[in-house]
């Protein structure tokens, strides 16, 4: 009896050890999965594996499934998640992507020495970018500290010349300089994007045209937006096609400002028809442009519908959603619906406290 009982105990112990191995093995697999780098794409796909290098033009990654070394073009990337980055850094970058510099900066204050000790160069470069980007957005929101923020972005691109955030940093610098009225310096910053692939050359031309628009030079801006659409690109280059559609929308806004709202609406309708139904970024831009054109033409009801479409359907792009909420707050107030106006305002304040659209709304609302 005792021998049988001992054999059963030994068997039970072996079973427990085996189960522990399975569980621990599962934990090991989960930990490994969490450590996998992920490059998420604009078309909603992604490549997972191990990032082996970055350049301004691409992220190099060893595909976890095939083992193949791949270069993912920068113009196709939505974002990059580094497997061993601290959660605080990942959270802060998410806030930065939502254009919320204040919250990104506050989140980074939670970093500890343990988070960064022994961190890889890739993670440290990511931290430098998020810090510089958050400072820039914070300066734009506050209207102070722009010079220091601009220097922070310049330091980043100098220190991390091979970062996949290089063009993003230059564009943010252009945005910052443009907001302070340094239009020539802003155009120079945008020129750095011209070193990139065709899609970024179109984006640079769009950004420069936008500076003219901000100065009220609508005829000149319209011409530059049109020139952006004529930059030579491969017909199969979907990233460039997206940028050209955005340039068409910029031209439509200029046309509307010149008193030709019906013509602007036609241009926008053509872009909506040509866009991929899954391309929510372009469609958000399009419906905001449509609302803008309708407002310019005195068709407030149609404008409301366009901006509501962004708010309810195409709200994943922070800049576009903030613009739609700003317009909805104004239009609902004008339509005699202060409750709906207050809801739009509160949504703008809560979701995008750093947005320039919120700064524009405050004087308009008398607060």
Q: Is there a domain that residue 312 lies in? A: no
- List strands edge to edge, sheet with 77-81: 69-73, 58-63, 46-55, 37-41, 77-81
Identify the domain containing residue 136 by its residue range. Answer: 84-195
- Average pLDDT across each block of 10 residues of the chain; the chain has 367 residues. List them in order: 45 43 39 74 93 98 94 96 96 94 95 93 97 95 93 98 98 96 98 97 98 98 98 95 97 97 97 93 97 97 98 95 98 97 96 88 57
Give the pLDDT of residue 362: 67
* Torsion angle (degrees, nearest 10) of CA 166, 120, 76, 141: -50
Residues 28 and 88 in one domain: no
Q: Is there a domain that residue 24 lies in? A: yes
Number of compact structural domains in the chain: 2
In terms of Cα–Cα distance, which of 97, 98, 92, 178 is closest to 348?
Answer: 98
Give the pLDDT of residue 43: 86
Q: Is there a domain that residue 316 lies in? A: no
Residues 9 and 95 in one domain: no
Q: Is there a domain that residue 295 lies in? A: no
In terms of Cα–Cα distance, which of 330, 310, 331 is closest to 321?
Answer: 310
Question: Last residue of a domain, which of 195, 219, 241?
Answer: 195
Residues 31 and 110 in one domain: no
Give the pLDDT of residue 26: 41
Residue found by looking up tokens 């100098």 in the block: 158
Give the pLDDT of residue 363: 58
Q: Is there a domain that residue 284 lies in? A: no
State how far Cα 192 lies from the chain centre: 19
Residues 25 and 105 in one domain: no
Residues 102 and 190 in one domain: yes
Q: Is there a domain that residue 185 lies in? A: yes
Question: Last residue of a domain, which of 153, 178, 195?
Answer: 195
Q: Is there a domain that residue 124 lies in? A: yes
Q: Is there a domain that residue 119 lies in? A: yes
Give the pLDDT of residue 361: 85
Give the pLDDT of residue 4: 45
Phi, psi at 34, each rounded to 5°: -65, -25
Give the CATH number of the domain where residue 173 resides.
1.25.40.10
Work out the number of other CB atoms within 10 angstroms of the CB of residue 235: 7
Residues 88 and 190 in one domain: yes
pTM reported for the whole predicted model: 0.86
Rg (CA), the chain: 25
CB 256 within 8 A of CB 288: no
């Amino acid at each position: 009896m005792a021998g049988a009982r001992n054999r059963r105990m030994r068997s039970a112990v072996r079973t427990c050890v085996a189960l522990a191995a399975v569980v621990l093995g599962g934990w090991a697999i989960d930990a490994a999965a969490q450590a996998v780098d992920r490059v998420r794409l604009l078309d909603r796909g992604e490549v997972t594996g191990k990032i082996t290098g970055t350049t301004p033009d691409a992220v190099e990654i060893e595909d976890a499934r095939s083992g193949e070394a791949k270069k993912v073009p920068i113009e196709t990337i939505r974002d990059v998640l580094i497997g061993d980055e601290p959660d605080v850094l990942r959270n802060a970058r998410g806030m930065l992507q939502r254009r919320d510099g204040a919250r990104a900066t506050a989140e980074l204050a939670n970093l500890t020495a343990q988070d960064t000790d022994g961190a890889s160069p890739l993670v440290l470069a990511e931290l430098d970018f998020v810090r510089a980007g958050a400072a820039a957005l914070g300066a734009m929101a506050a209207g102070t500290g722009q010079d220091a923020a601009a220097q922070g972005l310049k330091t980043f691109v100098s220190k991390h010349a091979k970062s996949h955030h290089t063009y993003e940093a230059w564009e943010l610098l252009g945005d910052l300089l443009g907001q302070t009225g340094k239009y020539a310096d802003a155009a120079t910053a945008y020129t750095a994007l011209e070193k990139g692939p065709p899609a970024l050359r179109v984006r640079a031309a769009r950004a420069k045209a936008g500076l003219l628009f901000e100065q009220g030079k609508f005829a000149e801006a319209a011409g530059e937006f049109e020139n952006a659409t004529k930059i030579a690109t491969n017909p199969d280059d979907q990233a460039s096609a997206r940028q050209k559609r955005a340039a068409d929308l910029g031209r439509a806004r200029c046309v509307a400002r010149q008193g030709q709202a019906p013509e602007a609406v036609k241009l926008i309708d053509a872009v909506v028809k040509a866009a991929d139904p899954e391309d929510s970024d372009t469609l958000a831009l399009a419906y905001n442009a449509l609302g803008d054109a309708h407002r310019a033409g005195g068709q407030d009801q149609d404008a409301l519908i366009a901006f509501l479409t962004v708010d309810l359907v195409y709200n994943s792009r922070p800049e576009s959603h903030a613009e739609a909420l700003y317009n909805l707050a104004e239009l609902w107030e004008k339509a005699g619906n202060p409750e709906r106006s207050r809801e739009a305002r509160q949504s703008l304040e809560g979701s995008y406290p750093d947005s320039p659209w919120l700064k524009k709304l405050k004087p308009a609302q008398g607060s």
